[in-house]
Chains A and B, each alone.
Chain A
Amino acid sequence: NRSSAALQLKSDNSYYCTAQSNRISLQMQTERQRERKRLDFFLYFLCLFSLVDKDVMYICPFNGALKGKVFITNFRLYFTHTDSTFTLDVPLSVISRIEKMGGASSRGENSYGLDITCKDMRNLRFALKQEGHSRRDIFGELFKYAFPLSHGLPLFAFLSQEKFEENGWNIYKPMDEFRRQGLPNERWRISFINSTYELCDTYPTILVVPFKATEEDLRRVATFRSRCRIPVLSWIHRENQAVIMRCSQPLVGMSGKRNKDDERYLDIIREANGTPKLTIYDARPNVNAVANKATGGGYEGEDAYQNAELVFLDIHNIHVMRESLKKLKDIVYPNVEESHWLSSLESTHWLEHIKLVLSGAIQVADKVSSGNSVVVHCSDGWDRTAQLTSLAMLMLDSYYRTLRGFQVLLEKEWISFGHKFASRIGHGDKNHADQDRSPIFLQFIDCVWQMTKQFPTAFEFNEHFLIVVLDHLYSCRFGTFLYNCESIRDSHNVRTKTVSLWSLINSSTTSYVNPFFTPESSRVLYPVASMRHLELWVNYYIRWNPRIRHQQSPVEQRYKELLALRDQYLKKLEELQLSDSTHMTNSSTPNAASPNQHITHLQTPF
């Protein structure tokens, strides 16, 4: 039984993408096939767990009810239509909620079954036969393996033993990254004060702080910052030495407490490059910052911080973002709202939030590139702060726009600085209504996508890469996005026991690379944060809808064709030159100057 299922999986040649993607390029296909083969291989060994193999009806919102078989392993749910024209392949950890619909006595066709809500903008509905409690075991297995942590089971990443050519855990080495930025220098030093996470348990071990600040200073500043997340350096501008610092809110409270050490510390930061006024960006709306005083938080007051100006960026909190995405899903899944598409889209506010985040990041980047140091914080400094600093860095530093540079950016600003992936995504946790869940990282990737859309030649990675990152944000196949912070990750030995997503990506990069990428090292990218340019990321949010064409962009296709043609011509020319030169050794009149010229000319842009 088990092996037959595995064979079934093998014989079918579509992987991952459920909606029948009509025309994927040959290259993509082979890439996918290779990936699938690898996956099948290890699945064959890993499907030792329960295997549900059952006749069900998949109620497809686009094609109607489809009869077929469903297989459930500890990693995925796999459905194949009887005539194999349609398959569904869903990693179990993408499921956020499983509900039973209808009872044994409910009437009507396909009224008895399961309703599955996924984190990746789709719902799945299966109908089963009412006789003999047929859904009991499928529900049980699904519930168990979709939410392993709630059942005392390990996440799938710890079971998977995939092997890749490259080890993705090596992509980010904090010291190397700081060295790349030109750190440490005479103004900034590396501090190991947090090497055992004693200063701040949600920060990484290696921190960059002002040279003038002693370890004792840092400890005292930590008492005045929420969760001890003190201002530390994220990025430094090579020419003007302006810095981006990140931290959490100061613990001002209702009484308006002050802390001399914190005030002095921020002034040291200001001094470091002679900025006359340090700009503090509080990502929150003003009212929220005020409201935070009630719970002990707050913001830097004018009189306390003399040489600083405070700017509120009006970005809303995680709950607002969660509701916004929920509304967005309502208008795009299963059917796209048609008659009033634009006003419905507006009413979700999703793009408006994107606009606010982007325009905040633009302000940060603009300040820094004009030579002023900035401090960015929100409440705790792990959601909005991460969005703002990483986007600003993406605008300022072309390194982060490369495939590997972007991985470093994610590892650094998001993973090592404690964006609470586990809480925000809810990996392996059954509590779908958890108030801590929020699509903050998705929102950030959306912002990145908006930037790639506006600057199609500035990024080395393509849209497919961003989608793959988001898919594996939920898939739990890799250890990259697991847990809330580095200290917990260390305690679970994530780096040794799981595989990094970057292993998959970097072992075969061709399908993630943007052919139009032209590196321009010293260029600051300012996207236009206007609703005129922001658009819904249709290829992500509406990708399950078969009416949306999943075709490779014709420009890209044409460009690749031409590249191939150019290579072919170049090769031919070279051959000709070779034969010419052998020919010419006999005759002494050299007249083949132009091809030489051409070849040098042609090679310059690459």
Chain B
Amino acid sequence: MLSLGGGGAKSTKPSFVSYVTPEVLSPRLDWEDFDEERNPVLKHTQDDLSQRGIFGTLLCTNFRVSFVSDETPLEEMTQHFKNKLYGENDIPLMCVDNIYGVYDEKKKLITKGMLKNKCPSKMIIHCKDLRVFQFCLTYTKEEDAKKIFQGIAHHCLEPKSLKCVFAFSYAASSSPEVQRSQRTVMFDSKEDWTQEMKRTKANLRIVGYNFWMKYGCAMFKASTLPVPQEDGLMQGYMERMLHAVAHTHLYSLKLEDLSETLPTIQDIQQSYNKFKQFFLIDNSTDFWVSDVKWFSTLENTGWLDIIRQCLQKAVEVVECLEKENTNVLIMEEEGSDLCCVISSLVQIMLDPHFRTLTGFQGLVQKEWVAGCHAFLDRCNHLYQKDKECHSPSPVFLLFLECVWQMVQQHSPAFQFSETYLTVLSDSIHVPIFSTFLFNSAYQRESTMKAEAQHLQRGPLNCPAVWDWSVQFDCKAQELFINPLYADKLKQDKAIRKVPRAKHQRQLSLPSSAFKTPPKKGFFKDETESLKKMLRVKRISRWMASPDSPAAATREFYETWQRRPLDYHGLLLPCLDGPAMRLWMQRYLRWIPEVQILGGGPVAITSMLAELLSQVQDLRRELDMRSCWETEAESLQLRPGPLALTRTSLRLSSSFPFASNRNWTFKPAIPTSLLQSLMVTDRLASQEDETNEVISLV
């Protein structure tokens, strides 16, 4: 289902033209191959009782599964937040998570082997962005139904080769003018690294950082070369680097082996698989049944606990850097999964630059893309069945979850909004962007080169996800900005009054997150020898701290909490049970039962945006009259998301996602209420007034 409000949903008719961005509209409209013919199907809305749906046509291209409604929309709706690449009734093939067939009222997971079987009466598609579509095939001619069903299943479930990923045909057809976002530092050139070094050096005044970083930079480049001879050289690098770190700094070095303390990527995958099931809801009955034991089911998936563990580990690392002035070496077997999570989190906590939009994007480029996180394998874009070898795992999503926790706890510290994070998490599964498509920079370069040769064209232009204009227009992009973000300028003023806390003057060391190259087993031995080298030091370090790390971190947090909060300084997350929250926007946005009509946090945000634009108007007015006597009066104002302002429309809590055109004012009344409340003890049956007996009249 796609949440379209209660029943009788009308949807705007999606047309193909609307998705073809001008850039990709090449003379031959062949960037999408139409594989299947149009087949009439009925799409269900979630409403169980009415069983209402919309008739329309289902089609499948090499980019997406698409449903085109037969109904013409009654009125032109202005959609706030339209994705240019795919509409609300489109599913990019890479975004399909699972397909279920309903055979005689029984729901079965469709696997490759089942394609030959009878065609199901109903097809349910679960998406990776947590949408659920239900298509009824009983009104379709059987051969057509079979054709579309098999076509979709084939495209979604078959393992693919990287060459077939849609990005390449997209990149081939798009004009080279589409440049990647200018502002985001991509960290794919030496200059970028030098710049970053300068930036951090200037801020942090670190001796030797420069030297160290050079090696880091070199290593990233080198690691992408799978030449056997390089092995020796690499080891040389590592040893030298280690010595450099240990000797140039007068600080000691601490080793943090993540594989010993954090869940494995398999654990993460398992946990997330359990977790997401509770948001892929087929009908209202299921929703209310799962509502009864909601908290314990949530806890049993372990997902929130994994998030907490990652944040906890990051805080521990920050503590070493901040309090003990110790360098930290984070490592794990492959060095490109949890290492990326922890090192990026540490940098977000320490450095306000990474809490800005471009800073954050740069961080992802630096730690994840240049850091060779195996996106291709982890996201399993190619539907490889060999899980052993590729081990899919939502590691990057886990990172975004952790960031979201920080954002919701310290909103004014972040320039980007929750919506930005949600959209970013969706974009992982849009096969257009080079960002999430490869295992390493080397793989990207070589594949792109090979593809360009194959297509006999010049260099392919594969946009980075940071080029948001590919997906959203300017108005929608405004929603990425957090209107609460406290500007540095203003903060500075405040700080000038209050003497700076002492700790800020101390040296903040950069996270010396250090990565071993991503090639499998490539560096195992070296890692081992490194461990051995550092063992002595490490044990003594741990021995020195009397308490368990958790208790020590708790104290560190409490000390930090007692100080006045500086949104541009060190930022730590609260890790108490009640503080760890569910990312409601991402997980609940498509479920109609939980939509608060006219409520939710957006009600406040839109008022704030409205006021902000008013103040800006006034400001402009005054500026025109240039009546500012003192510069102090002028306050830096950042434009708020205009999409939120001047809308007479009442928004729902799932804004800006799931459009709710049909405002059903019927409340959702929970069913199956008493199932859990089996209060069997004597209290339940007791009379309200035990010591008074009702007088019988």
Contact = CB atoms under 8 A, between A and B. Distances in A.
B687 A530 contact: no
A536 B562 CA distance: 24
A366 B677 contact: no
Given A316-B677, A379-B688, A456 B696 contact: no
A217 B370 CA distance: 84
A435 B691 CA distance: 8
A356 to B, nearest CB: 6
Nearest to B565: A23
Given A341-B577, A532-B294, A323 B696 contact: no
Interface residues of B, number: 85
Interface string A495-528: 0000000000000000000001010000111111
Interface string B644-675: 00000000010000000000011111100110
B594 interface: yes
A562 B613 CA distance: 10
A23 to B, nearest CB: 7
A598 B292 CA distance: 51
Interface in A542-595: 542, 546-549, 551, 554-555, 558-559, 562-563, 565-566, 569-570, 572-573, 576, 594-595
Contact of A342 (B304, B557, B608, B625): B304
A288 B684 contact: yes
Contact of A559 (B561, B577, B608): B608
Which among A337, A457, A551 has the greatest number of chain B C-beta atoms within 10 A? A457
A547 B577 contact: no
B525 interface: no
B80 to A, nearest CB: 19
Contacts of B288: 530
Contacts of A336: 576-578
B293 A346 contact: yes
Given A316-B684, A542-B578, A548-B576, A566 B603 contact: no
B604 A296 contact: no
Interface in B288-325: 288, 291-296, 298-300, 304
Interface string B476-519: 00000001101000000000000000000000000000000000
B688 A359 contact: no
A356 B308 CA distance: 31
Contacts of B688: 317-319, 378-380, 383
B319 to A, nearest CB: 17
Interface in B56-81: none
A572 to B, nearest CB: 6
B33 interface: no
B558 to A, nearest CB: 7
Interface string B558-574: 10011011000000001
A319 B681 CA distance: 11
A457 B679 contact: no
B614 interface: yes
Contact of A569 (B298, B603, B622, B667): B622
Contacts of A323: 683
Nearest to A332: B578
A319 B689 CA distance: 9
B593 interface: yes
A297 interface: yes
A67 B169 CA distance: 75
Contact of A565 (B483, B635, B667, B695): B635
Contacts of A529: 668-670
B599 interface: yes
B533 interface: no
A341 B578 CA distance: 7
Interface string A309-351: 0000010111110010000000000001110111111100101
A202 interface: no
A528 B595 CA distance: 7
A251 interface: yes
Contact of A530 (B293, B483, B594, B665): B594
A287 B605 CA distance: 46
Contacts of A525: 598-599
A517 B627 CA distance: 33
B291 A530 contact: yes
Nearest to B607: A516
Given A22-B561, A23-B565, A528-B595, A226 B691 contact: no
A220 to B, nearest CB: 11
A380 B627 contact: no
Contacts of A318: 688
6 contacts: A295-B694, A317-B684, A317-B688, A323-B683, A380-B689, A570-B618
Interface of B: 287-288, 291-296, 298-300, 304, 411-412, 483-484, 486, 557-558, 561-562, 564-565, 574, 576-578, 580, 582, 584, 588, 591, 593-601, 603-605, 607-608, 610-612, 614-615, 617-619, 621-622, 625, 627, 635, 653, 665-670, 673-674, 676-677, 679, 683-691, 693-697
Interface of A: 22-23, 223-224, 226-227, 251, 253, 285, 287-288, 291-292, 295-297, 314, 316-320, 323, 336-338, 340-346, 349, 351-353, 355-356, 359, 362-363, 365-366, 369, 378-380, 383, 435-436, 454-458, 516, 518, 523-533, 536, 538, 542, 546-549, 551, 554-555, 558-559, 562-563, 565-566, 569-570, 572-573, 576, 594-595, 598, 601-602, 605
